[in-house]
A and B are shown apart, each in its own frame.
Chain A
Amino acid sequence: MAPTITQELELITAGHGGGTGVPARGGDGDRPGGSRRVPVRAYFTLVQLLLAAIVMFFMALTSSYIVRKGLGTDWQQTPLPPILWFNTVILLGSSLTIHLARRRERAAFRPWWTLTILLGLTFLGGQLLAWKQLAAAGMFLDTNPSSSFFYLLTSAHGLHLAGGIFVLFYVVFRDWRRSRISQAAAADLAAIYWHFMDGLWLFLLALLTLGR
């Protein structure tokens, strides 16, 4: 993996100054010519920062959830459709497959990666099914605050995951020979995001389940 911010800080405190000069690989493919000096670690910084912003977004929703639930007068806990547990297993499985895709030899990359995409799509399909089951039980977005938050949190997570699936496709179908970062680096970046989405779902599931 590329140097992280902490390693960078160590370089600086050790007196090596700032930027590390000409990196091995760089550029984000926006400029013609080979002179752009964007090190591959910048892409890792970007993804880490993006996750920080996403954390703040979901923390805002989480504290709203806790506050609104605490008001209490009209809160009726939404029964979670059992299919959520199946979806959770699928998503955990996709974290495993994306891990295997990056660990195995080149030949094994594509099948494991494709399987990850399929599992991601299955998860989204499963979430839609959960919505359908809830709607069939008469629980809609505006039924009560608990159901409002259920639809809101699952759709916010689902949208972020759909973005992840788009990136997974992009990693497979882009012609990386013309790019400034390797497909392996792009796969690493996508995997960081994907694992995070997995962890985020576990957090949201715990929020929706616990303390009822």
Chain B
Amino acid sequence: MVTTAEAGGHVHSAPTGFIRKYIFSLDHKVIGIQYLLLALFSVFLGMALSLLMRIHLAWPAHKLPFFSGGLMTPEQYLALVTMHGSIMVFMVLTTAPQSGFGNYFLPIQIGAEDMAFPTLNMLSFWTTFVSLAVMASAFFVPEGAPISGWTAYPPLSAVGEQSGPGQGAGQTLWVIGVAIFCAASLMGALNFITTTVDLRAKGMSLLRLPLTVWAWFVTAVLGLLAFGVLLAACVLLLLDRTAGTSFFIPGGLVFTDQVLISHKGGSPLLWQHLFWFFGHPEVYIAILPGMGVASHLLSTFARKPVFGYKAMVIAICGIGFLGFCVWGHHMFVSGMSPYSAFAFSLLTMTIGVPSAIKTFNWLGTLWGGRIQFTSAMLFALGFVSLFVTGGLSGLFLAQPTLDLYLHDTYFVVAHFHLIMGVAAIFGIFGAMYFWYPKMFGRMLNEGLGNLHFWLTFVGVYAIFMPMHYLGIAGHERRYADTTGVGYLAKLQPVHVFITIAAIITVAGQLVFLFNFLHSMKSGKKAEVNPWNATTLEWTVSSPPPFDNFGGKHPHVYRGPYEFGVAGHTADFIPQNLEPEKVSEAH
């Protein structure tokens, strides 16, 4: 803990030195932006890796930069798979929607001056940074990055360098990086929950919380309960790798014609259980904040209250709870008892209930609204579209009999990319277009935003819809080159199409990057409340002062989505507007 030397004296004095202000800042707003920049760097790194994979899949003989002789080996392809997945899941989908936007806006939306524990908050960002550095350093060790995928299934991930390039130092760095990330996420979760429980402004009851806050809160609870389990699994894996234990390594394994005699009796399935007990909640950690943002944006830009606010809250909590009961559906082909598979299948399909509640409530929110098609709104609508598309294929995969066929095919790749990858990214973009004016004091260019949306929206469907057909045709995931396999070679034109779509979509992201950087200096100046929104962050200047509310303590009088209220002159009522002022113009 940091102690203050000059207690008393100035009220609300902000730090003035560069390092305290921008590097080791305690301000949740700066930390939120730091998280977003870390995610921005990571998402471009992850995209670059996927482009290399896509180009190799479409034109296997094509020479590529960064590879000796310009040709990619199958093992190098697997290393790209591993690092793309790990960086995207941990450093983008977990950090940007929750730690990034959550850090910046949760305290302001509940009327707090900061997170409950600013030093812990700073520590959790810098721990995340170290984790990214450790994980990315796997690229630079002699044998390169690990090849066992982001799920790191043993024995491949556990037995060390004899199991393949990158399985020595690279895999060890990966495990350590993930373990550090667990610690960072736990710190963040502690702060988010405590802040929401104990720091709400007067009048901000639980059922007056914006749905964004509900989503961040439930996500933090999931993180709190899930990351400890992954940390334990990483410790066991690390001991198997370095200390000669046999938690996950069975006996009699043959590698390069030699039987491993130092290990015996372990269970690779044990890792799968531990990993997916974390891994499935992790999916919701990625998507729940997007759901909160979508609800928030649909209501604001349809100028209507969220349809079924309470049902939305219950659905968020229900999805969070069920997220812990379904990990077995990732393991239908592991040889589990059909009775277990049946139970996991039933529980998995139960998630369809709260998901459908949310989807129909989103549609109900839009129904009869005066919809404003801002870039932020477009991305929120895109989120709903992708959530439905990706969710429907989940119902196929949730059935053990179908999963036996579809498991480890491109059908799965299409499913999880649409629902947890791209839908979550659309949530992030929606949040970015919506809150950019508040964070940076300037508006993003709407024309470029529209262009970015349509390129991305059409692009991701062009990339991922054909993958369903590849999967149904029996195309396995993780194969570097299928031109030599008879029945798969016929599918090569689909690969070419997907790769071209991917190149165009990635190029479309440069539009966003330009808009993001250019608008920071040259964008239109943002007013206090450019979207006529109701929540507390729109009652303070853009960007907000150091202590968020300029020494005042906001008082909340009503729920977060009071749009189009009869008898009131404006079509929205801010949460903090005194009741006696409600029917006056303002």
**Which A residues are within 8 Å of any B CB, using their own CB?**
5, 8, 12, 17-22, 28-39, 41-42, 45-46, 49-50, 52-61, 63-64, 67-68, 71, 73-75, 141-142, 145, 148, 152, 156, 174-175, 178-179
Contact = CB atoms under 8 A, between A and B. Distances in A.
Given A19-B198, A49-B194, A60-B277, A152 B239 contact: yes
A35 B551 contact: yes
Contact of B202 (A17, A55, A63, A145): A17
- Count class of interface residues, chain B: 35 or more
B551 A30 contact: no
A31 B118 contact: yes
A51 to B, nearest CB: 11
Nearest to B262: A142
B243 interface: yes
B228 A32 contact: no
A18 B194 contact: no
Nearest to A54: B228
Contacts of A54: 228
Describe B's contact surface by its main secondary structure: loop
Given A37-B553, A68-B247, A18 B201 contact: yes
Contacts of B3: 29, 174-175, 178-179
B274 A18 contact: no
19 contacts: A18-B110, A18-B204, A19-B201, A19-B204, A22-B553, A30-B4, A30-B118, A32-B10, A34-B11, A45-B116, A45-B193, A56-B228, A57-B229, A60-B232, A64-B232, A64-B236, A71-B266, A75-B265, A152-B239
A73 B265 contact: yes
A38 B232 CA distance: 32
> Among B111, B114, B194, B206, which residue has the most Cβ atoms of chain A within 10 A?
B194
A83 B117 CA distance: 40
> Among A45, A54, A63, A175, which residue has the most Cβ atoms of chain B within 10 A?
A45
Contact of B243 (A36, A58, A142): A142
Contacts of B142: none
A58 B225 CA distance: 11
A73 B267 CA distance: 12
B394 to A, nearest CB: 26
Given A54-B228, A142-B244, A152-B239, A46 B117 contact: yes
Given A68-B266, A74-B264, A145-B246, A12 B116 contact: no
B239 A141 contact: yes
B270 A19 contact: no
